[in-house]
């Protein structure tokens, strides 16, 4: 059984310079209470691996606004002008990765693979500095896996063994990221007794989850 911890306790586990995977797509499916606790604690030099940086004042955008992030690995930043300005001004490194490639890099990190081949990005700036391999006359890029120190994920439900379910599009990157980090902190909407979640509805098994966030006191 996992003992649920507060968002403040969870944020205190994350040191300066940590590499974080954070679930969500434009803030949908992001662990908002945990992000707020991190902003309050003000760690520095974080690397954030995520689909995007949402918008100013929303989701991961709050970490960007607070100056906690020194590097972003994401598929787009077009909806966050603060991220764009920090990149242009040289205040933050931004690695832009095609969305499908990013998802597969995370999956490969979780599966223990050494990398994968993709034609996406061949002949573009994406290919710069990467090994190119020809298979049956087709050129592919060798993309390497991604892993993180912490995965900060959101779930619809958890039980006290840490089994997680997700809801609709809020699923997005969360199950993949739960596989690809040394420490997984899950923020569920609700925590239910063991047995309440049918086994075939479990998307992330509890053995992968290190900490559960408690629900805020009403």
Distance of alpha carbon 164 from the chain centroid: 16
Token digits of residue 216: 């805020």
Rounded mean pLDDT, 51-67: 97
Is the predicted pLDDT of residue 215 greater than 90, yes or no? no
Task: Kindly report the pTM of this predicted structure.
Answer: 0.95
- pLDDT tens digits, residue range 163-182? 999 999 999 999 999 999 99
- pLDDT tens digits, residue range 2-57? 889 999 999 999 999 999 999 999 999 999 999 999 999 999 999 999 999 999 99
Q: Which residues pair with 49 in a beta bridge?
A: 21, 73
pLDDT band at 107 (very low <50, low <70, confident <90, very high): very high
Distance of alpha carbon 185 from the chain centroid: 11
The rounded mean pLDDT for the chain is 96
What are the chain's domains?
7-113+145-212 (3.40.1080.10)
């Amino acid at each position: 059984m996992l003992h649920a911890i507060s968002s403040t306790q969870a944020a205190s586990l994350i040191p300066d310079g940590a590499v974080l995977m954070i679930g969500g797509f434009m803030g949908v499916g992001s662990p908002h209470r945990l992000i707020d606790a991190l902003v309050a604690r003000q760690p520095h030099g974080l690397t954030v691996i995520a689909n995007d940086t949402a918008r100013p004042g929303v989701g991961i955008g709050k970490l960007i606004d607070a100056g906690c992030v020194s590097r972003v690995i994401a598929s787009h930043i077009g909806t966050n002008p603060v991220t764009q300005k920090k990149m242009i001004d040289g205040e933050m490194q931004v690695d832009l990765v095609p969305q499908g490639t990013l998802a597969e890099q995370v999956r490969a990190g979780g599966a223990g693979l050494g990398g994968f081949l993709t034609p996406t990005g061949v002949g573009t700036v994406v290919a710069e500095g990467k090994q190119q391999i020809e298979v049956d006359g087709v050129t592919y890029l060798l993309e390497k896996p991604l892993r993180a120190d912490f995965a900060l994920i959101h779930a619809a439900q958890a039980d006290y063994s840490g089994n997680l379910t997700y809801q609709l599009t809020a699923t997005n990157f969360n199950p993949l990221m739960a596989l690809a980090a040394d420490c997984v902190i899950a923020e569920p909407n609700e925590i239910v007794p063991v047995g309440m979640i049918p086994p075939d509805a479990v998307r992330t098994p509890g053995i992968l989850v290190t900490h559960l966030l408690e629900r805020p006191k009403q």
